[in-house]
């Protein structure tokens, strides 16, 4: 479904889409016809698509309700009208969209044809979901500045999984006319939440010893206060209980795993608590003081059953006091019967060893093309 009159021809391929719907804003007829010619509506009506008449900007709720009503049990792609797609869209054929919203940042085309990202974390121009999809929190006009960031915030608040796999699924912006909707400088009301660009499929996999290493810089951040510190070495400024982090990863060996979490916390953060979850398994833990924000220790949690190939591990605060929940450096998952590579004592020499940042280059369970955030 497209929410603009500026329809790109590439989006009208019936080999990809079973139905194409254009939300046509009749309040702009005179302005658009003067600039684009009086045959605009006739051109749209000649294309293999369906028109939905609106007066003013449609909201995300309008788009979702239309999809739920007319296309139950279907995959829905909604985008701005000046967006086109390439063959990477086919990668979604086997992707599970249940309970998820994909928000895609666009690429721009340079003067020599090269593609590049503009502001991938703060702007998305296409949204993909599966019906039925909840519509109650999404009364947000499409196209206002900040509407995409507000949508992300509302989606996370509703308990849905939202991601921006624009590194895998490519969409391109091509605004080929001088027509822009009125109110272009207006901003959607907050709160807002930016969305980290990511891959569609996880790049974190098991090592040869069947362990899986989840470093801070590979985490997806959900929230407005928590952030990467020290060039991604740890996650810090974790002062808001609504902020959380997650890693998506794949495993080849199904088994029970223990979880080794490496963190630092000063004395006034002792007693904070958090929940580590993988699907339906949840493990609660209380933060113990490590002496300072820079003195890291490793604590073992679990066991956690991992029985399916692709997993999402989340860490969510339960209670925060003092200066913050903790500084989180990394998590490592090991088969429960496997001997740990670490002696999980809290003596000074072992803490010094942990402070060496897990030797990312030598020990990582990452593919070589997973980039650290800049």
Q: What is the pLDDT of residue 202?
A: 62
In a domain, 194, yes or no: no
In a domain, 338, yes or no: yes
In a domain, 289, yes or no: yes
Q: Among candidates 199, 248, 203, 207, which has minimal Cα distance to 365?
A: 207
Considering the domain architecture, whether residues 121 and 21 belong to the same structural domain is answered as: yes
Considering the domain architecture, whether residues 307 and 217 belong to the same structural domain is answered as: yes
Q: What is the pLDDT of residue 356?
A: 37
Burial class, 320, CB count within 10 angstroms (exposed 0-12 / middle 13-18 / buried 19+): buried
Considering the domain architecture, whether residues 227 and 169 belong to the same structural domain is answered as: no
Beta bridge mates, 213: 332
Q: Are 326 and 298 in contact (CB under 8 A)?
A: no
In a domain, 207, yes or no: no
Q: Are 278 and 233 in contact (CB under 8 A)?
A: no
3-class secondary structure per residue, 42-88:
HHHHHCCCEEEEECCCCEHHHHHHHHHHHCCCCEEEEECCCEEECHH
Q: What is the pLDDT of residue 177?
A: 58
- Output DSSP code: residue 331: E
3-class secondary structure per residue, 99-153:
CEEEEECCEEECCCCCEEECCCCCCCCEEEEECCCCCCCCCCECCCECHHHHHHH
How many whole angstroms separate alpha carbon 329 and alpha carbon 348? 18
In a domain, 192, yes or no: no
Maximum separation of any 2 CA atoms in the chain, in Å = 79
Q: How far is CA 261 from the centre of its chain?
A: 23
- Look at strands 227-229 and 234-236 and give their pairing: antiparallel
Domain boundary among 173, 197, 230: 173
CB contact burial 324-352 (16+ within 10 A = b; e otherwise):
bbbbbbbbbbbbeeeeeebeeeeeeeebe
Q: Among candidates 8, 156, 163, 139, which has minimal Cα distance to 79?
A: 8
Per-residue pLDDT tens listing for the chain (374 residues): 544 433 333 333 445 678 889 888 777 666 555 544 456 677 777 788 888 888 888 999 999 999 999 999 999 999 987 888 877 887 787 678 988 999 999 888 766 666 677 666 678 899 999 999 998 888 898 888 889 999 999 998 888 889 998 888 888 887 655 555 545 567 888 888 888 888 776 666 667 678 888 988 788 888 888 988 876 689 999 999 999 999 988 887 778 899 999 999 999 999 999 999 998 889 999 999 999 999 999 999 988 888 767 788 999 999 999 889 999 999 999 888 644 433 333 333 343 444 433 333 333 333 222 233 33
Domain boundary among 173, 204, 226: 173
Considering the domain architecture, whether residues 144 and 43 belong to the same structural domain is answered as: yes
Q: Are 120 and 197 in contact (CB under 8 A)?
A: yes
Considering the domain architecture, whether residues 21 and 81 belong to the same structural domain is answered as: yes
For residue 272, what is the domain's CATH number?
2.60.120.260
In a domain, 285, yes or no: yes
In a domain, 180, yes or no: no
Give the pair of three-digit tokens for residue 223: 């929230």
Which structural domain, as residue segments, surrounds residue 51? 9-173
Considering the domain architecture, whether residues 272 and 160 belong to the same structural domain is answered as: no
Q: What is the pLDDT of residue 82?
A: 80
Q: What is the pLDDT of residue 159?
A: 86
Considering the domain architecture, whether residues 18 and 157 belong to the same structural domain is answered as: yes
Considering the domain architecture, whether residues 132 and 226 belong to the same structural domain is answered as: no
Q: Is the peptide bond before 284 cis (omega within 30 degrees of 0)?
A: no
Considering the domain architecture, whether residues 216 and 158 belong to the same structural domain is answered as: no
In a domain, 372, yes or no: no
Considering the domain architecture, whether residues 156 and 24 belong to the same structural domain is answered as: yes
- Look at strands 50-54 and 21-25 and give their pairing: parallel
Q: For the chain, how many structural domains are there in total? A: 2
Which residues have C-beta within 8 Å of that of residue 302, sequence separation ≥ 6? Answer: 256, 257, 258, 259, 283, 336
**pTM of this prediction exceeds 0.75:** no
Considering the domain architecture, whether residues 165 and 32 belong to the same structural domain is answered as: yes
For residue 22, what is the domain's CATH number?
3.90.550.10
Domain boundary among 126, 148, 173: 173
Considering the domain architecture, whether residues 46 and 138 belong to the same structural domain is answered as: yes
Q: What is the pLDDT of residue 4?
A: 44
Burial class, 364, CB count within 10 angstroms (exposed 0-12 / middle 13-18 / buried 19+): middle
User: Which residue reads 């510190």 in tokens?
Assistant: 229
How many whole angstroms separate alpha carbon 67 and alpha carbon 102? 16
């Amino acid at each position: 479904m497209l929410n603009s009159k500026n329809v790109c021809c590439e989006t009208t391929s019936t080999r990809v889409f079973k139905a194409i719907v254009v939300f046509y804003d009749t309040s702009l007829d005179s302005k658009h016809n003067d600039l684009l010619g009086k045959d605009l509506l006739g051109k749209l009506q000649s294309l293999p698509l369906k028109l939905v008449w609106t007066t003013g900007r449609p909201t995300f709720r309008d788009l979702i309700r239309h999809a739920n009503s007319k296309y139950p049990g279907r995959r829905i792609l909604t985008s701005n009208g000046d967006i086109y797609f390439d063959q990477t869209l086919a990668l979604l054929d086997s992707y599970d969209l249940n309970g998820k919203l994909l928000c895609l940042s666009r690429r721009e085309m340079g003067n020599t044809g090269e593609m590049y990202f503009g502001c991938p974390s703060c702007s998305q121009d296409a949204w993909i979901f599966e019906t039925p999809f909840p519509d109650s929190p999404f009364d947000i006009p499409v196209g206002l500045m900040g509407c995409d960031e507000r949508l992300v915030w509302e989606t996370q608040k509703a308990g849905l999984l939202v991601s921006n796999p624009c590194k895998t699924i490519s969409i391109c912006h091509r605004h080929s006319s001088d027509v822009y909707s009125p109110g272009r400088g207006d901003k959607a009301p907050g709160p807002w939440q930016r969305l980290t660009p990511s891959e569609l499929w996880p790049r974190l996999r098991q090592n040869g010893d069947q362990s899986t290493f989840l470093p801070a810089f590979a985490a997806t951040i959900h929230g407005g206060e928590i952030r990467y510190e020290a060039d991604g070495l740890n996650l810090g400024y974790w002062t808001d209980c609504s902020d959380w982090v997650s890693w998506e990863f794949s495993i080849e060996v199904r088994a029970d795993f223990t979880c080794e979490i490496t963190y630092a916390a000063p004395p006034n953060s002792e007693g904070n608590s958090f929940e580590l979850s993988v699907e339906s398994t949840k493990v609660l833990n209380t933060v113990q003081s490590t002496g300072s924000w820079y003195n890291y220790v490793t604590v073992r949690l679990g066991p956690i059953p991992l029985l399916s190939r692709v997993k999402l591990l989340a860490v969510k605060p339960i209670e925060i006091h003092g200066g913050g929940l903790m500084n989180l450096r990394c998590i490592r998952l090991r088969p429960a019967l496997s001997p740990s590579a670490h002696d999980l004592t809290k003596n000074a020499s072992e803490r010094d060893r942990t402070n060496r940042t897990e030797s990312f280059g030598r020990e990582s369970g990452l593919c070589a093309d997973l980039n650290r955030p800049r």
